[in-house]
Structure 1
Amino acid sequence: MKALTRYAAVLLACAAPILPLAAQEVSPAPAVSQQVPAGAPKLLVAISIDQFSADIFAQYRQHFTGGFVRLTQGAVFPAGYQSHAATETCPGHSTILTGNRPAHTGIIANSWIDQTVTTGPKVVYCAEDVSKRTAGSRDYVASPVHLLVPTLGEWMKKANPAARNIAVSGKDRGALMMGGHDIDQVYWWKGKQFVTLAGRQLGPTAVAQNAEIDRLLAKGAGEFPLPAYCRRADRAVQAGDVSVGNGHFALKAGEPEQFRVSPRLDRATLDLAVKLVDEQKLGRNTVPDLLAVSLSATDYVGHATGTEGAEMCIQLTQLDLALGDFFASLDKRGIDYAVVLTADHGGFDIPERLHEQGLEKTSRVGPEVSAEALSATLGKRYGLEPKSLILSDGPAGDYWLRKDLDIGLKGKIIDDASAILMTSPFVEKVLSAAEIAATPMPQGSPETWTLAERARASYNPLHSGDFVVMLKRGVVAIPQARKGYVATHGSPWDYDRRVPILFWRKGMTGFEQPSGVETVDIAPSLAALIGLKIPQGAFDGRCLDLDGGVGNTCGVVK
């Protein structure tokens, strides 16, 4: 089913009751309903840690002493999957609380290229309202307009408008993809403060949080302590002109960028979340509320310094402590809450350090994979103007052909581009949109999916390109390291797809399940906890039984 069709069906279901077959004999049934079970949690807390891979979780698990320790006492799925191929921030966040893969959320990447405009191709950001773009401005109006399916918080509000749907994040796309369209309060970090949607005023809590950050930025702060287990990682590694690996996050006065790329951003985001719990009286409602928290610093640190230096070690240590304080704050308020923690995608370290750590077969991508190189070669071959012949937003993922090309010529150019790319030592596979669209939506465990099936889970005809380029395992899609951007993610490989999924609630019978599950299973699992009945077919995911004993949180009799 196309995403637009699904969304139309979902909107219709939300707007009107579903008529049963014998509609003339019985009353219409509601599209979404809620009968809160006795003892259900009063607050659902969904936490996403940007770039928190299953590999990183396993590596640091033995060292955690704070919030992660609590979570590992619950239902632990150490090998969860962002099962799609386009493992970027926006697609990953779009799966967590919608229960849908990017093929249905419409969020196929952090950005895509739109050729429907008369002024020429333009890059569209996943959390941007393009209709409000100002000519010549580099700024944009943040919006969830491209999200094609409802979030769990929206379903909760549809069932009962008294439910509160709140989201905070270090990035606009993190907050908006988890919160959705119908959201009571939403905040994200921008520049040097937390902001909200255009046309809305900051609430008193956000104003107070920004004032605290202003005071910190004005005076600066010293380095974070280096834990003993981080010492072996504390050494400089050269990546091009950039030296990374031994940073300790000193904050120079008046430097908000240093605040953003540090553990301080996550601490501030969690502090704001606690303040919003009080301001909005979350967990004290007649029906359950939802608080979505997206923590972005791990991703910023990973991109700027890689995943194996002292910076990441300090970041995860401080994040563990901040999560512990966050949970303690909820406990102090006497709130009955259930929490899930996962990630939008994983990550990969810099090749320069991996070469020293037993992984010689890793590299940075070469220039021949770029859309510009392909355009030059194929433009000459076919006598076409090379400018904008082939378009992309990076040296991997979706590529688009100029829209005015004859369909037959398009097919030839795609075939030729594929043949050229497959001679590159950096490229694993090239798939045309037709090949991907013809691939059935994958079933079964995501660890067994083919590359075509992973691409299918990311493909949406509204936004996807004419073909997709997948780099070989270990090839980093950054041709040349630069300050703030030495490592990345986005590949179809498991180091980017696998993420932990951790559920916890006081008194639950915990367990550990090493088999693969998906992040799209989170929303239906949380919905079941609070008795929320969603129209059949609205989720790609399935309900996970979160009780390790004889009970069944999915309402299934064992």
Structure 2
Amino acid sequence: MYKNRVSLILLLVLVIFNTFDTSAQKKSKNKRTVANTIENTEYSSTKPKLVVGVVVDQMRYDYLTRFWDQYGEGGFKRLIDNGFNCKNNHFNYAPTYTGPGHASVYTGTTPATHGIIANDWYDKELDKSVYCASDDSYTSVGTASDAGKMSPHRMLVTTVTDQLRLHTQLRGKTIAVALKDRGAILPGGHTANGAYWFYGKNEGNWITSSFYMDELPKWVNDFNASDSAESYKKPWTTLKDISAYLESGSDNNAYEGLFEGEVTPTFPHDLPTLWEDNGAFDLIKSTPYGNSLTADFAIAALEGEDLGGDAITDFLAVSFSSTDYVGHKFGVNSKEVEDTYLRLDKDLARLLEALDKKVGENEYVFFLTADHAAINVPTYLQDLKIPAGYMDKDVLQSKFDEFLKYKYGTTDIVKNISNHQMFLDHDIIKNLDLNIGDVEEEIARELLGYSDIDRVYTAEQMWENEYTEGIPYILQNGFNLKRSGDILMVLKPGVISYSITGSTHGSPQIYDTHVPLLFYGKGIKNGSTTTRTEISDVAPTISALLDISFPSGTIGNPISKVLE
């Protein structure tokens, strides 16, 4: 009897204990579930609904400071006053061209890894020149021309836009927009929902490639049908009184190019009169109206694609290309460049206002940089007694051909010269029973004796050494083992191979590498730094902000000072 009573008491104790323990576990589990829900909600709320990446083609850093007093409050000044300014930002490779620039901004690496070594380059395997975005595997969408036969297939790694798409299981959208095809295709990456570029001539429409879609979305067709491009067929006059443009040279000078049909490079530029002789709608590209048209289309994309419409982060990549066309035509010290940036400032303000309205002022992150900078017109520098000049390609080629014939008995030993690189015919060198390394060094020493050439490096040097600073470091970052040439040439500072009017770029010199880098919006600190940053730091900084994987070829680092 006693034993039965003890057993009953023990059983009751065990039941009560188990009940209490189960209840405690449920409460603990519920607490963890609630805590995790709160934590996930807080984590999600820290992410921006939209990332907007802006690349301004051929923008020097000093355009921010030179024209500062002329800017309004809603564009560049808003970004700098309320965002973060990396004042010492540089491209860490050469050649500094549009294709490599856009690829490097979005991949977090350089041509040595992403493979976009120029806009066009000699393909050693195909034995012909190729374009960075051309792809005959696809067809044009939105035009009967071949202008849409494009894709990012020559870019060998992922972009930050690709990584965002992968991270969100393709639920986050990527839309890329630019006048230039490469300015949209390369930032959009391999997985973009859409990349659109402008086809001028007599059409004036935004188009794409069958790589992305089989037909244009309704919102794009509606935009094209609206004749928005047609509205910019008007005289290009200065935004402000030209007498206020004190940050640029005289309006009529010998350093600027001319539109076909013009006698002087002066305002106003009568676009309706110049229209047919300058490519019709293509003329818009070489005026600030091309940037305005790009802003119009980007704002239409915000609504048409409902970008930033939910908690899953989307990406809008916008490249303003007209700044490059204007710089090439008129030069960095022209009143045309000054006017173009004052008008771009207003277009940026319009874009930011549209983002405030559509996405919410504190719900997006915005960065702005450039794909390269540019040199002052050398003839202008020469007139100021600053060392500068032009390489005479014909004289150099003639002298070099004489050397090849004397040394090797043939000029066929060189297959191609482009982008300041020389591609040798390895088969001929073998047939002549010569060592490729010896030939590279002999040619390099010959070229070093030419007056306009400052430095020469060989592929063997790029292979065998690891450079960490200066010009050789920049060249090595641009040297792709499978795609680059056998000889790399660097012109003297201030010397270019270009027309005597207008500005250009492409060198490893600081006037081509120093570009703006601004961050603004959700998760961005307010401030600035003069610590050196490099263009390959942009993608990992945005990736860190979004808490996603870095692009597959990344060599850059997040700029910790930028992030809250």
- Is the shorter-chain TM-score for this pair beyond 0.5, marking a shared fold? yes
Tell me the equivalent position of 1:125. 131
- Deviation, 1:467, is 1.0
Query: Cα 1:225–1:132, aligned 2, differ >3 Å: closer, same or farther?
Result: closer
| 1-structure distance, mates of 2:54, 2:535 | 12
Task: Report the Cα distance in structure 1 between the residues aligned to 2:152 and 2:230, rounded to whole angstroms.
Answer: 31
Choose the corresponding residue for 2:446, options 403, 413, 420.
420
Match of 1:235 in 2: 251
Match of 2:121 in 1: 112
User: 2-side partners of 1:138 and 1:239: how far apart?
Assistant: 35
Matches within 5 A, 1:385-464: 386=411, 389-394=414-419, 397-407=420-430, 408-440=434-466, 442=468, 449-464=469-484
SS of the equivalent of 2:191 reads coil
Letter matched to residue 233 of structure 1: G
User: Which amino acid in 2 is paired with 1:91?
Assistant: P
Q: Which amino acid aligns with 1:419?
A: R
Matched, 1:355 2:382: yes
The structural deviation recorded for 1:239 is 4.7
- CA drift of 1:437 comes to 2.1
- Larger mean CA deviation between 188-197 and 38-47 belongs to 188-197
Q: CA deviation at 1:410?
A: 3.8
Q: In the TM superposition, what is the alpha-carbon distance from 1:515 to its structure 2 partner?
A: 1.7
Letter in 2 for 1:349: N
The correspondence for 1:542, drawn from 533, 539, 557, is: 557
SS of the residue corresponding to residue 516 of structure 2 reads strand
* 1:202 match: 216
Which of 97, 112, 123 is the matching residue for 2:106? 97
1:71 counterpart (69, 79, 89): 79
Q: 1:488 to 1:318 in 2, by over 3 A?
A: same
2:64·2:76 contact (CA, 8 Å) conserved in 1? no
Provide the C-alpha distance between the structure 2 equivalents of 1:248 and 1:339, rounded to a whole number of angstroms. 34
Q: What is residue 517 of structure 1 aligned with on the other side? A: 533
CA contact (8 A) 1:378 1:413 kept: no
**Equivalent residue for 1:157?**
165
Give the aligned partner of residue 330 of structure 1. Answer: 355
Q: Residue in 2 aligned with 1:474?
A: 494
Aligned to 2:38: none
Instruction: Note if contact 2:256-2:331 (Cα within 8 Å) is conserved in structure 1.
Output: no
Q: Which amino acid aligns with 1:251?
A: L
Which stretch shifts more, 421-430 or 375-384? 375-384
Residue in structure 1 matched with residue 333 of structure 2 by the alignment: 308
Question: Partners of 1:505 and 1:359 in 2: how far apart?
Answer: 44
Contact 2:94-2:507 at 8 Å conserved across structures: yes
- Looking at structure 2, the residues matched to 38 and 499 of structure 1 have their Cα atoms a distance apart, in angstroms, of 32
Contact 1:249–1:311, Cα closer than 8 Å, also in 2: no
Contact 1:44–1:291 (CA<8 Å) still a contact in 2?
A: yes
Following TM superposition, by how much is the alpha carbon of 1:412 offset from its aligned partner in structure 2, in angstroms?
4.1
Using the alignment, how far apart are the partners of 1:196 and 1:323 within structure 2? 24
Residue 278 of structure 1, aligned match among 303, 318, 332: 303
Deviation, structure 1 residue 175: 0.9
Structure-2 change in CA distance of 1:459 and 1:402 (3 Å): same
Aligned 8 A contact 1:48 1:341 in 2: yes
Give the secondary structure class of the aligned counterpart of 1:84.
coil
Report the secondary structure of 2:209's partner residue.
coil
When normalised by structure 1's length, the TM-score is: 0.82
Partner of 1:262: 287
- The residue matched to 1:271 in structure 2 has which SS? helix
- State the AA in 2 paired with 1:116: E
User: 1:538: Cα distance to partner?
Assistant: 4.5
Take 1:43 and 1:103, find their aligned partners in 2: how far apart are those partners? 30
> Could you tell me which residue of structure 1 aligns to residue 20 of structure 2?
none
Per the alignment, residue 224 of structure 1 pairs with 238
The answer (yes or no) to whether the contact 1:244–1:309 under 8 Å persists in 2 is: no
Per-residue CA distance 1:317-350 (angstroms, 9 max, x = gap): 1001110111011112243111000001100121
Contact 1:82 1:519 in 2 (8 A): yes
What is aligned with 2:391? 365
Which residue pairs with 1:317 in the alignment? 342
Identity of aligned residues (%): 27
Which is richer in helix? 2
- SS state at 2:407 partner: helix
- Distance in 2 (alpha carbons) for counterparts of 1:441 and 1:539: 18
Q: Deviations over 1:8-49 (max 9, x none)?
A: xxxxxxxxxxxxxxxxxxxxxxxxxx9954322110000000
Q: 1:108 to 1:208 in 2, by over 3 A?
A: same
Q: Distance in 1 between the 2:413 and 2:257 partners?
A: 30
CA distance in 2, matches of 1:432, 1:534: 32
How many residues in Structure 1 have an aligned counterpart in Structure 2? 496
**Secondary structure of the structure 1 residue equivalent to 2:271:** coil
Aligned equivalent of 2:367: 340
Moved more, 297-306 or 212-221: 212-221
8 Å CA contact 2:86–2:529 kept in 1: the answer is yes
Is residue 2:56 matched to residue 1:43? no
Partners of 1:248 and 1:506 lie apart in 2 by 41
Letter aligned with residue 496 of structure 1: D
Task: Give 3-state SS (helix, strand or coil) of 2:326's partner.
Answer: helix
8 Å CA contact 2:138, 2:149 repeated in 1: yes
Cα distance in 1 between the residues matched to 2:105 and 2:270 = 33
Aligned partner letter, 2:49: K
Aligned mates of 2:386, 2:232 — CA distance in 1: 44
SS in 2 for 1:72: helix
Shift of 1:235: 2.5
Describe the SS at the equivalent of 1:233: coil
Q: Distance in 2 between matches of 1:511 and 1:241?
A: 39
Contact map agreement 2:147 2:199 (CA 8 A) in 1: no
* Aligned CA distance change for structure 1 residues 190 and 410 (closer, same or farther; 3 Å): farther
| SS of match in other structure, 1:406 | helix
Contact 2:60–2:516 (8 Å) recurs in 1: yes
Structure 2 length as normaliser, TM-score?
A: 0.81
**CA distance in structure 1 between the aligned counterparts of 2:549 and 2:122, rounded to whole angstroms:** 37
Rounded Cα–Cα distance in structure 1 between residues aligned with 2:286 and 2:413: 34
CA 1:229 to 1:388, structure 2 compared with 1: closer, same or farther past 3 Å?
Answer: farther
Q: 1:251 to 1:36 in 2, by over 3 A?
A: farther
Residue 84 of structure 1 corresponds to which residue in structure 2? 93
* Structure 1 pair 377–189 and aligned structure 2 pair: CA distance change class (3 A): farther
Q: Structure 2 stretches of 5 or more lacking a match?
A: 1-40
1:64-83 deviations in Å (ceiling 9; x for gaps): 21410111121101221111
> For 1:493 and 1:248, how far apart are their aligned partners in 2?
34
Separation in 1, partners of 2:139, 2:398? 26
| Contact 1:225–1:248 (CA under 8 A) maintained in structure 2 | no
Q: Which amino acid aligns with 2:476?
A: R
The change in CA–CA distance for 1:159 and 1:374 in structure 2 (over 3 A counts) is same
**Which consecutive residues of structure 1, in runs of 5 or more, have no partner in the other structure?**
1-33, 443-448, 554-558
Distance 1:514 1:246, change over 3 A: farther
User: In structure 2, what residue type is equivalent to 1:181?
Assistant: H
Which residue matches 1:9? none
Rg (Cα) greater in structure: 2
Q: Distance in 1 between matches of 2:171 and 2:253?
A: 53
Q: CA deviation at 1:109?
A: 1.4
- Give distance in 1, aligned partners of 2:439 and 2:69: 51
Change over 3 Å in CA distance of 1:492–1:244 after alignment to 2 = farther
